[in-house]
A and B are shown apart, each in its own frame.
Chain A
Amino acid sequence: MGVTCVSQMPVAEGKSVQQTVELLTRKLEMLGAEKQGTFCVDCETYHTAASTLGSQGQAGKLMYVMHNSEYPLSCFALFENGPCLIADTNFDVLMVKLKGFFQSAKASKIETRGTRYQYCDFLVKVGTVTMGPSARGISVEVEYGPCVVASDCWNLLLEFLQSFLGSHTPGAPAVFGNRHDAVYGPADTMAQYMELFNKIRKQQQVPVAGIR
């Protein structure tokens, strides 16, 4: 995998989420990108159980368990600003057994689904972020395959993003700055999705009209 940038696209004024997504995908198709199926990234939140908290005197930490259709056999477990664990999909079963330590937050499941596009060496995924029944926003993921060092190709990614996001082009993701010369990995992408989901959770709920 290459370097990936995940960002949020604000919903266009006077348009629904669905319409904005269509606007984006049409732009991509005009650019010459090829449609390559769909993708899905989901995230579930776990609390640290109260019983373990008290004894150690720590603040409660949130753990996010995520799946990415790009890595169908893997499961990602992340702490905010913390380590990221990449495990087999069986990890979900393990989480059930760890009920005593981690408890699933109610109705916390958030996911993004959409279409995957290939343009030259770029992979673009435009998805609708949904939480429960409501559409909350739009995620745009752009991956540049051939490169593994984020700082080497950020400018290129930026230029590409500008070509179809226009004024909504995001700044460099935080994970890029963390490690200057390190090889970019799937965990970095998941951390970006986690941040995006957290940001969207805090946002006001948009009208349900946009759901598909």
Chain B
Amino acid sequence: MADVLSVGVNLEAFAQAISAIQALRSSVSRVFDCLKDGMRNKETLEGREKAFIAHFQDNLHSVNRDLNELERLSNLVGKPSENHPLHNSGLLSLDPVQDKTPLYSQLLQAYKWSNKLQYHAGLASGLLNQQSLKRSANQMGVSAKRRPKAQPTTLVLPPQYVDDVISRIDRMFPEMSIHLSRPNGTSAMLLVTLGKVLKVIVVMRSLFIDRTIVKGYNESVYAEDGKLDIWSKSNYQVFQKVTDHATTALLHYQLPQMPDVVVRSFMVSGLRSRVAHGDLSSLPVSAGSSEGGPQWARASAWDTGQRRADAFF
């Protein structure tokens, strides 16, 4: 640092020059003070004038002296070096603190990363678009034959087709009964009863599952007006949890091209496996643990069930 500055500037002289400037400024302000104050009261007019002029002269002399001193010092300070086009302010860029921070290399690294990320994201999206969801691969062979060839818009399917799909699923499993009703227009609502364990209300839009609610076997699924109550949740924490899981599964496995596959997988893996594999006694435990329960709330067996269900997909 010292050698950089010594090129153009004598620091000692610089400090003296600054104090000389201060002295000059104060002497100048004294001159103006003297002018402002005007003549002092004396016996005679001549005496007054003389005293004022003498005072004024003194002040001017001191200004002169200070100015000469400043000039002398400014020669000592020396010329700023010609290397920097910005003169001394150019030295600011030589602040060594910046040299110590690895800013540049970090920036470079970040840039490389973001480039790489973009590249991989592009690759991934290409792959994902090719085989939209892996789980349907196993069932594709079966379902492809049954599915009508052309499905221009899957949202507008004839109700008979929906009925057909549902009744086929209904017939597949003896312990699962599905009751289909259309209380509000053409959208089907399913009441699925699984053994003596739980009831599921599934609200469909065409063949898309819109909403699902899981309730206990002994809970009422009908509202006061006798229609299916699709809004209120279960009174039991276990089934609230199960509803959450079912909804998650529902949102996760959406497959617009093949809605019937989604419905079937949902019924088979999502619901039936709850009874077939993850028998009920494993369910409530997890609800306990979600509550931060005490020692009897062991690791959530429900999650294992969930994983097993996922393996289905």
Name A146's contact: one of B216, B279, B291, B295 (CB within 8 Å).
B216
Please, how many angstroms separate the alpha-carbon atoms of A177 and B236 in the complex? 26
Please, how many angstroms separate the alpha-carbon atoms of A105 and B172 in the complex? 57
Q: A152 to B197, Cβ gap below 8 A?
A: yes
B208 interface contact, C-beta 8 A:
no
- A159 in contact with B296 given A152-B279, A153-B284 (CB within 8 Å): yes
Residues of chain A within 8 A (CB-CB) of B295 are 163
Please, how many angstroms separate the alpha-carbon atoms of A171 and B265 in the complex? 40
Please, how many angstroms separate the alpha-carbon atoms of A162 and B296 in the complex? 9
- A121 in contact with B287 given A1-B218, A152-B279, A183-B196 (CB within 8 Å): yes
Q: B294 to A163, Cβ gap below 8 A?
A: yes
Please, how many angstroms separate the alpha-carbon atoms of A162 and B288 in the complex? 15
Q: Mark B266-306, 1 if CB is under 8 A from A, else 0.
A: 00000000000001110011011001011110000000000
Q: Which residue of B lies closest to A185 (CB)?
A: B218
Q: Mark B218-258, 1 if CB is under 8 A from A, else 0.
A: 10000000000000001111110000000000000000000
Q: Mark A1-42, 1 if CB is under 8 A from B, else 0.
A: 110000000000000000000000000000110000000000
> Which of A121, A149, A163 has the largest count of B CB atoms less than 10 A from its CB?
A121
Looking at chain B's contact residues, is the secondary structure mostly helix, strand, loop, or mixed? loop
Q: B281 to A153, Cβ gap below 8 A?
A: yes
A147 interface contact, C-beta 8 A:
yes
A107 interface contact, C-beta 8 A:
no
Q: B235 to A145, Cβ gap below 8 A?
A: yes
Q: B296 to A163, Cβ gap below 8 A?
A: yes
Residues of chain A within 8 A (CB-CB) of B293 are 32, 120
- A156 in contact with B218 given A146-B239, A183-B196 (CB within 8 Å): no
Q: A148 to B217, Cβ gap below 8 A?
A: yes
A155 interface contact, C-beta 8 A:
yes
A160 interface contact, C-beta 8 A:
yes
Write the nearest CB–CB distance from B297 to chain A, whole angstroms: 9
A144 interface contact, C-beta 8 A:
yes
Q: B287 to A120, Cβ gap below 8 A?
A: yes
Q: Which residue of A lies closest to B291 (CB)?
A: A120
Q: A120 to B216, Cβ gap below 8 A?
A: no
Residues of chain B within 8 A (CB-CB) of A153 are 280-281, 284
Q: Ordered nearest first, which 9 A-B pairs have the shortest CB separation? A: A146-B236, A146-B216, A152-B280, A159-B296, A146-B238, A163-B296, A121-B236, A148-B217, A149-B196
A and B contact pairs by CB, cutoff 8 A, 10 listed: A31-B294, A121-B237, A144-B284, A145-B216, A146-B239, A149-B196, A153-B281, A153-B284, A159-B296, A183-B196
Further contacts, 9 of them, CB under 8 A, given A152-B197, A153-B280: A32-B291, A32-B293, A146-B239, A147-B280, A149-B197, A149-B280, A153-B281, A160-B296, A183-B196
